[in-house]
Amino acid sequence: MAAILKITRDPLDAAAVRALVEAVSYPGAGGLVTFEGVVRDNARGKRVRYLEYDAYPEMAEQEMATIAAEVERRWGTDHLAMVHRIGRMEIGECSVVIVVACPHRAEAFEACRYAIDTLKATVPIFKKEVAEDGEEWVEG
């Protein structure tokens, strides 16, 4: 399959995650790992009200393609989805979903971990924390 690599404004709700899992799954897959990043109600001792994400969408999708190529090189799978939502997100909403399918669980876990860690380090996506005592664009 061609990896699904997307920046979207649409909610990543249970139905959207399910659709990604179905798209990535294949008959030879024995391990399928899904990572969901979720908006937390606190950060550095602050009470977070909501988050606002922004991105450089064309470059973000290009950087995701670099990650997908490395996943294929190292773990031999192109059954991968990486979707990051932008815009305002409330506590408990999903901001990012990564799904990887492989013949066995070990490589599926490793590839998924690599994909989310590298996304955080290289993909131009930005986060504003709106807390009870103010708002700021933050790293990490």
Partner 1 sequence: MSVRIRYFAALREATGRDEELLDLPSEATAATVRALLAERYPSLAKVLPRCAVALNRSYVSAGAALHDGDELAFIPPLGGG
Pairing of strands 4-8, 80-85: parallel
Name the one range near partner 1 by CB under 8 A: 21-29, 70-78, 104-112, 115-123: 115-123
| Site of tokens 């994400």 | 53
CB of 103 to partner 1, least distance (A): 27
Spacing of C-alpha 53 from chain mean position: 13
Q: Least distance from C-beta 133 to partner 1, angstroms?
A: 18
Confirm or reject binding of residue 53 to partner 1 (CB under 8 A).
yes
Residue whose token pair is 């860690």: 117
Q: Which of 58, 69, 76, 105 binds partner 1 (CB under 8 A)?
A: 58
User: Crossing angle of helices 57-75/105-122, nearest 10°?
Assistant: 150
Based on the shown chain and the rule CB under 8 A, indicate whether residue 3 belongs to the binding site for partner 1: no
How far is C-alpha 97 from the chain's CA centre?
4
**Sites for partner 1 among residues 91-110 (CB under 8 A):** 95-96
25 φ, ψ (degrees, to nearest 5) = -65, 150
Under the rule (CB under 8 A), what is the footprint of partner 1? 37, 53-56, 58-60, 62, 84, 95-96, 116, 119-128, 137-140
